[in-house]
Structure formats: structure tokens, C-alpha cells
Amino acid sequence: MSDTMTEAPLVRLTDCEKRYGTIIALTGVSLEVHAGEVTCVLGDNGAGKSTLIKVIAGMHHCDAGVYEVEGERVRFASPREALERGIATVYQDLAVVSLMPVWRNFFLGSEVRKGVGPLSRLDIRFMRETTRTELHNMGIDLRDVDQPIGTLSGGERQCVAIARAVYFGAKVLILDEPTAALGVKQAGVVLRYIMRAKERGLGVVFITHNPHHAYPVGDRFLILNRGRPLGDFARDEITRERLTALMAGGEELEQLSHELEGAAATDTALGRVAEEFEHEVAELSIRKTPPEPPA
Amino acid sequence: MSHAVQAAAPPSVPDERIARRSPLARLLARPETGSLAGAVVIYVFFYAVAPPFRGLDALATILYASSTIGIPAVAVALLMIGGEFDLSAGVAVTSASLVASMLSFQLTMNVWVGVALALLLALGVGALNGYLVMKTGIPSFLVTLATFLMLQGLNLAITKLITGTVASPDISDMDGFGSAQKIFAAEWDVGGLSLRISVLWWLLFTAIATWTLLRTRVGNWIFAVGGAQSSARAVGVPVRRVKIGLFMTVGFLAWFTGMNLLFSFNSIQSGEGVGNEFLYIIAAVIGGCLLTGGYGSAVGAATGAFIFGMTTQGIVYAGWNPDWFKFFLGAMLLGATLLNLWVRRRTEAAR
């Protein structure tokens, strides 16, 4: 990975600021995405994660700051242009059509055809086989590429959307909360594909509010809070606990804990809540040893 | 989390879980299956109760009746798969034939001039419907309801204004009538059977629509814009162009049906066509199109039209009071809708 560090990063955002009218959605945010690395963007609701995605994906421009792709300053007019530069975004709704077969979804908008003129038709066999192979290479074991994509589980659909972006030449993959609506096992499946994409040499921007999902796969962590960077850490500079505490706004948590205790003096039901809360806050600060990083 | 990337096994190795989906299950999952089964049942039913229904000449009559509904129903089905409605299709048929006949007659020109201008008008109405729906985001139900009423008013008022009556003039002795009739409304005598060209056109349009839907990029896009418009747009499908094209296809086949009527009967009543738009939609729905879009087939719409033709004619052949017809039509629609609902639930919920 060291050789990629010397090259210009795939995506570099420097001191980005974005305003919606008088509201400052982002300010002073910098971000680098290198090939074969996963950059996690963490933050609670309203932290500016969505705005950041939209800037990188070419839907919005920075009002101030510099956006570079492979060392070259850019200003995208549309998400289409960003896509042409290899920056693919997988949104939460995944942009799939649930009644259509998996292979038709995989190639939707980029259909492969054979024949000329009025006889130009879909190369169905090629698309079916390619879908099967590509999904298999991403480690997705699909029953049947002819089944409507709506019959797949949430995690599988997410993986199809990722595999599609990878196949169509994405260099940078932006994943908008891919694990948010998933169960534990399914989230694990998606995290595994993020690792696969990374191993294939893609730069991944993984947006999430869950530090337990971010920590195992991330190489860099950018934490946002109310539109401002709260910290930018390499993996060896931070522990999972510190990440969780920062993410939740550790000091605010302790403050809340104290307030609950005060209120508990007059209300026994609240007392139990406060006790549990205190316990959790304590646990966050006690466990300092980082867990075994994934190989 | 294992680092080892599994080597790609040959994808042709069958998964043991695939076997469960039998050919029968695949057939049942097709949108038109329900209507095909329904068509067989209705055919057998009338075959049993109505002896005149059994002859080949009866079949030719049924096919002709089906084709006048089936041709526009093909386009309406494509539009419904694309997630939109067109309530103006029924009167647009009449508008097209009125324009063709009255323009040719008033200007004493070759009827082909009127036919061509009527085509432009029909495509224009389709484009306007599509443009308004896409530009304003108003549901197509409302937009085309408005064009339906406007066209209906124009049909009646302009015909009255020009001819002083409620019908267009007879154009059968005008230049070009013979050649136009050969194209739009030819009738052949095949071994004592009267075979109408519109039946062949109906089959051809159904075949083209089926090919387009299942084998071309445009077909893929039609399913996508009807199934999930924003997703389709996100992956680069030109949603607006696809939908406007679908509305124009309805315009084209409404025009074609109008020409068939005009050159079959030589003259057109200006109040005709009202209510037919529902027959097209019913044919499409009986054929498995979902009202919500994204699912359906052209073969299904053709089968729906055939069921319609069989029922209208079958009731006559059976010697029943035709007042019952609408009841049967309603019952079939309800049955088809329930079947579609069941199919979709299975498709969307099955794991």
C-alpha cells in the first residue's frame, strides 16, 4: 500500500465548505481516498455526511475549498461526470428495480447489445453469465440471476449494487450507510464485500454512524459533528472505544449520565436507566486495548 | 473475516438450490400465464354452450373484434408497464379518423394527405400528454383525463361545425381510398372465411412489442421507468424520453386503429370511442399488467383483448341478452386483478 501513498490520492478534498443558504452544512472538511484503502466517514444524524457524499458524487459543489481527482482539480457538472471519472455512489435506496431480474438490474442503463440497426438486441447470455461471474467473484452465491432482485435480502441487494459499480469501472466507491438497515449477519456480509472491493484496489468511502461497522474495515476515520471535522485518524492512531466515544460525543454522554443521576434521586424508574447508562459510559472508557484487527 | 479471496469457481456449476424452481414455476411467474389460462377456460365454455361459436367463421369474427381492441391495447400495455395511464386513447382513435377524413374531404386532396396529417396529430397528442406528465409531475391519470375531455369536445364541436352533422362525410370515392383501404382494412376471402388484415396487424404489433420489451434496451428501460423511476434515472436511463415515447406509441396505435375504422366504414361518428380507453386498460390488466407499473406483457394484453372479443361475440352466439356482457367483463377484471395481486405478492415477498 506504501506505493499508492506516494501517488496523488484518487480523491482529495481540502478545506471544503458547503452552505445551503445561511446554513453551513460543512466547513473545513478535508478527506483523502487512496487506492486500496477504506476511508470511513462517521457522524451522527445531521453531521454533514450526506452533504459530503453529494459533494464527492458531483451533485453539489464546494462553496470554498478544493476538490481534486487523481491530483487534478475538478468541478463536476453532474453525477454522470463524476461517474465517468470512476467515482461511483451506491445510495441507500440502491437504485435497483425490485420487480426486474438480477441480471437486468446489474446492466440497467449500460446494457450490452449485439447486432446492428433494427436487429440490435440485448446480449442476454453474456449479461446473465457476467452477472453470475461478477457476483461470484465478489463472493456472492446467488441462487438464480433470473429472480427478481426484490426477492434478495437487503444485504444481497447491497452487494449486487456494489458489484455493479465495481464491474462498470469504479475506482472510488462511495457507500452511503450500506449497513444501516441490516441485521448483524447481513451487515457482516456487506463489510466482507467492502474488504473485497478494497483488495481489488478500489478506494472506498464508507459512510456510517456505526463505529462497530467502521472500525474492522477502515484504514482512515473522519469523524464529523455538526458539519465540522471532529478528528481524522489513521487506523493505528485510534482504538474502537475512542472512536465510539468520539462518535457519540463522549463528553456529552457523561454530561447526560450526570443529569440522569440527578433526576434519579426523585424518580426510581429513572434510577435504573441512569445506572445502566453510567455502566456503559464507564465501559467505553475502560476498554482501551484495540481489538485484533482483521488480517 | 478471512483474507483469502476464493478463486472463481466455474459459474456453470449448478447451485443445488436452483433445482427447486421447476419449469412450471417459471411459467407461472410469467405475467401472461393467468390470462392464457383464462382464455382457454372461456373458449371451452362458449364452445360447450354455444354451437355457432364452434365454426371457423365465428373465430374470424371474434379475432376481428379482438383486433380493434387489441391493437391500441398493445400500446396501452407498454405504457402501463412504463408506469403511466392514457385515458385519451379511446377518443384519440376517433379524433384521428375524423381528422383524416374531414381534412381530405374539405381540401379535396388524396386521402393519404389526411392520413399523414392525422398521424402527426395523434403523435402530437401523445407527445403533449407525455411532456405534461413529465414536466409537471401531475399523475398521467389527470393529464390524460383532461386531454380525453378536450378531444371529445373537439371531435363533436368541429365535426358539427364543418359538416353540420354528427358524422364525417363518406370518403369512399376519393383519391387514394382504395390503396389506403388495402393497407388498413383489407378483407380477404380465404376458403369461404372472411379474414381481416387488422388481425394480422394486431399479431404483428404484439410480436414487435414483445420483442422490444424482452430483447431490447428500450424494453429494459420501459420496465425500469415503470418499476422504479428514480432508480432508473440514477443509473442513467433517459426516463423522460422513454415515457414520452410510450405516450407517442399509444398515439401511433390509436391512429392506426382510427384508420382501420375509417377505411372499414368510410364514415365516422364523432361521438364514438368514449369508454374504449377502459377496454384497452382492461385488456392490459387482464393480460397481467400491474396498475402500478413495472410488470406485464404485450402477449398478455393481446390475450386480454382476445378474451374481450370471445366474450362479446360468445354472448351473442349463445343467444343471451348482451346486457350481461358488462357484468362478465367486470367479473373477469376483478378475477384478473386478484390473480395479479397474488402473483406480485409471491414475486416480491418470496425468499
The residue among A183 and A107 whose pLDDT is bigger is: A107
The residue among B223 and B25 whose pLDDT is bigger is: B223
Residue A189, C-beta contacts closer than 8 angstroms, at least 6 positions apart: A155, A156, A159
Cβ <8 Å between B215 and A294: no
The answer to whether the beta carbons of residues B283 and B299 sit under 8 Å apart is: no
The residue among B114 and B325 whose pLDDT is bigger is: B114
Min Cα distance B347 → chain A (Å) is: 7
Reported ipTM: the value is 0.81
Give the residue on A whose Cα is nearest the Cα of B31: A99
Ordered structural domains, chain B, with CATH? 35-42+51-337 (1.10.3470)
> Distance of CA A21 to CAs A17, A18, A270, Å?
12, 9, 41
Min Cα distance A199 → chain B (Å) is: 9
Average pLDDT over residues B114-129: 96
Helical spans, DSSP H, in chain B = 23-28, 33-49, 56-81, 89-106, 111-136, 140-163, 177-185, 197-215, 217-227, 229-234, 239-265, 276-286, 298-317, 325-349
The answer to whether the beta carbons of residues B254 and B97 sit under 8 Å apart is: no
* Tens of pLDDT, residues B157-184: 999 999 999 999 999 888 899 999 999 9
**pLDDT of A123 over the 60 cut:** yes
* Tens of pLDDT, residues B277-293: 999 999 999 888 988 89
Q: Looking at residue B30, what is its pLDDT?
A: 77
> Distance of CA A281 to CAs A127, A255, A265, Å?
52, 10, 19
* Tens of pLDDT, residues A233-275: 888 888 888 888 887 665 566 666 677 677 766 676 666 777 7
Confidence of residue B42 (pLDDT cuts 50, 70, 90): confident
Of B21, B216, B228, the CB nearest to A98: B228
Angle at B223 between CA B208 and CA B70, to 5 degrees: 40
Q: Looking at residue A227, what is its pLDDT?
A: 84
Min Cα distance A48 → chain B (Å) is: 22
* Tens of pLDDT, residues A44-75: 877 888 889 888 988 888 888 899 999 889 98
Radius of gyration of chain B (CA): 22
